[in-house]
Amino acid sequence: MQRQNYMITAEEVAESMGISLGYAYKLLRKLNKELADQGYVTVAGKIPRAFWEKKFYGYSQIVM
């Protein structure tokens, strides 16, 4: 079983959604701002995978 990283990168976002890298960074900036407004520490160009899955797919954990 392959272990996923805790953070998802802009490159992964762009590839999985079929969007440009620039637009992926724009999405991550928006989501990082949302996290920062809630008091979380953020990393530019990355976002917690669980937060990404919750915002875009409606769940926080993949069930297999």
Domain extents in the chain: 7-57
Say how many residues make up the chain: 64
Q: pLDDT tens across 9-19, in order?
A: 999 999 999 99
Whether residue 54 contacts residue 39, with contact meaning beta carbons closer than 8 Å, is answered with no
17-55 residues labelled b (16+ CB within 10 A) or e (exposed) = eeeeeeebbebbeebbeeeeeeeeebeeebbbbebbeee
pTM: 0.80
Is the pLDDT at 40 greater than 80? The verdict is yes
